[in-house]
Amino acid sequence: MSEVALQATGLVRRIEGDVSHILVNGIDLSVNKGEFLAITGPSGSGKSSLLYLLGLLDAPNEGDVIICGQPTSKLSESERADVRLTRLGFVFQFHFLLPEFTSLDNVILPMRAAGKMSEKDMRERGLELLASLGLKEHASKRPNQLSGGQRQRVAIARALSNRPEIIVADEPTGALDTASTEQVFSILREIADNGRTVVVVTHDPALAARADRRVHIVDGKIHETFVGERKAAEAAVTADVTTAEP
């Protein structure tokens, strides 16, 4: 049985006011360890609102988000912040790198915030991550000296710095050219293949189809769920083998 890394139960997020507006409307969702999940939907459908709830960047009005078996609805804000820092990594459409810091310094920031490693170990870990993403020669460069694709790869390295179990990404390729989009998506695919859970919001149906599973959000609810192209192909091969057996 697959191990569940991320679970949403009865999630509701509404904006209170003279007229209440529901962003997420009673969503139940489970994502397994090592699964690559894509969330799609039209603008205003609630897909980014859902991702922010799953990443503990926002709190639901109702329901719970369970991270690696830990319910979070009753956690204090400082406890939620600790879960975000240690168990979750974030990648956004815009890299949000600090402009005055080098690539290496940006990658080190979450490790420094966690306060569990020596300066030497943090630098070694940061350089190792940058090298793994083809950025070894760019460690001392600042964001304005990098291309858009390079900046987003630095952001991915930063997201991985504290060895989180789950990566959440909101339109990570939305501001990139075609070549950089392919590169970044391939990196996210590899992260999932290596055992981490990856949840991505995207407008790109071709990229979403390459995830293990896609959920399509409409009006704050899961409208449809699709199996990704690779999983569908694997299932077809398994079915053919089973049929061929005497």
- For residue 195, give the nearest of 218, 166, 222 by alpha carbon: 166
Give one word for 34, left, alpha or beta, with left for phi > 0 and alpha for psi -120 to 50: left
Q: 179 lies in which domain range?
A: 4-244
How confident is the model at residue 234, as a pLDDT? 67
Rounded Cα distance, 109 and 112, in Å: 5
Whole-number average pLDDT of the chain = 90
Rounded Cα distance, 4 and 69, in Å: 8
Q: CA geometry: angle at 196 spanning 195 and 200, to 5°?
A: 130
CATH code (residue 158): 3.40.50.300
Residue 211 has pLDDT above 70, yes or no: yes
- Beta pairing, strands 62-67 & 166-170: unpaired
How confident is the model at residue 245, as a pLDDT? 65
Mean pLDDT of 164-172: 92
How confident is the model at residue 237, as a pLDDT? 60
How confident is the model at residue 173, as a pLDDT? 83
What does residue 50 show for φ and ψ, rounded to 5 degrees?
A: -65, -45
32-53: pLDDT as tens digits: 999 999 999 999 899 999 999 9
Residue 1 has pLDDT above 60, yes or no: no
Whether 28 and 10 have beta carbons less than 8 Å apart is answered as yes
Rounded Cα distance, 193 and 105, in Å: 27
Beta-bridged to residue 217, according to DSSP, are 222
How confident is the model at residue 244, as a pLDDT? 61
How confident is the model at residue 2, as a pLDDT? 66
Give how far the C-alpha of residue 158 lies from the chain's centroid of Cα atoms, to the nearest Å: 12
**Residue 115: strand, helix, or coil:** coil
Mean pLDDT of 61-66: 95
How confident is the model at residue 112, as a pLDDT? 94
- The residue with greater pLDDT, 64 or 238, is 64
How confident is the model at residue 23, as a pLDDT? 94
DSSP 171-240: STTTTS-HHHHHHHHHHHHHHHHTT-EEEEE-S-HHHHTTSSEEEEEETTEEEEEEE-HHHHHHHHHHHH
How confident is the model at residue 227, as a pLDDT? 81
Backbone CA torsion sign across 238, 240, 242, 244: negative
Mean pLDDT of 74-96: 91
- For residue 153, give the nearest of 202, 119, 104 by alpha carbon: 104
Helix (H) or strand (E) run with residue 29 in it: strand 21-32
Task: Name the band, by pLDDT with cuts 50, 70 and 90, for residue 240.
Answer: low
Mean pLDDT of 99-118: 95
Mean pLDDT of 89-115: 92
Domain count of the fold of the chain? 1
How confident is the model at residue 207, as a pLDDT? 85
216-236: pLDDT as tens digits: 999 999 999 888 777 666 666
